[in-house]
Homo-oligomer: A and B are copies of this chain.
Amino acid sequence: MMMVRKSKGIGERHQKILKFIEDYQREHQHPPSIREIGEHCDISSTSVVNYYLDQLEKEGLIERDRKISRGMRLIGSNNPLGDMLRVPVLGVIQAGEPILVPSESPFTPEDSVEIAMSMMPSREKGKDLFALQVQGDSMIDAMVNDGDIVILKPVQDARNGEMVAVWLTERNETTLKYFFKEKDGYRLQPANPTFKPIMIKKNESIDIKGKVVMVIRKMERMAA
C-alpha cells in the first residue's frame, strides 16, 4: 500500500529527512549523500530522495548546490551549524578610559568570541558587531561585572530605552546606561534601580559609541 500525501505541505517523510540531515551534519560536519539519506529513511531509490529534496527546496527548508556531492544545507533555525558570528574583542572598557570602536581601533583584535546567530536579539546580525571586556567594577550600576563581555553594535544615535556605551566628553568617563532623550538634555539611567540616573544638560556633549546588544559572563571561581 502506498502512502499518498493529501495536503501539499510537509509530511512525516519530509521531517524525517530533515531530521536526518540535521543529525548527520552535526555528527560528520558535512551533509549526507542522497543514498545515505535513502538508507536511513527507508527509501530504496535515489530518485525518490531527490524527489523529496526538490520539494524541501521548493518549501524553502533546504538549499541545494546541484551537481555537487553532498551539496545541500538546511535553512533556518534547525541548521545545526553555520550560523555563528565571530565577534572581535577590540579591547577593554572601563569608566576611566575612552573605548575603542571598530573604525578607531588601530590593531587587529587579539581575540574573538563566537555567538550563535540564534542568540542574537532582534536580528542584530550585522557583521559590524564588536565586543569589549569590562575591566574593574565601575559598571556594576549597569549590572555588569568585572570580566564580563559586552557585545556592541556601533551606532551614533540611540533610541529611548536602549542601553548604550557613551563617552562623557566633559567628565572623561565611559559608562553603560539606558538612554533617554528628554527636553532639557539626556537622562542616562543605570540598570540597577538602586542607583540614580545621570542627567546631561543640553550644553554638555556626549559621544555615543555603541548600543549594547548582549552581555556575557563566564563564571569563574571567586577568591576569598
Contacts and interface: CB of A to CB of B under 8 A. Distances in A.
Interface of A: 26, 28-31, 33, 65, 68-74, 79-82, 84, 86, 113-116, 118-122, 137, 140, 143-145, 159-163, 178, 189, 191-193, 211-224
A217 to B, nearest CB: 4
A178 B222 contact: yes
B80 A84 contact: yes
A71 B193 CA distance: 54
A51 to B, nearest CB: 21
A38 B17 CA distance: 33
A171 to B, nearest CB: 23
B214 A217 contact: yes
A223 to B, nearest CB: 6
Contacts of A224: 161
B30 A73 contact: yes
Contact of A163 (B68, B81, B119, B222): B222
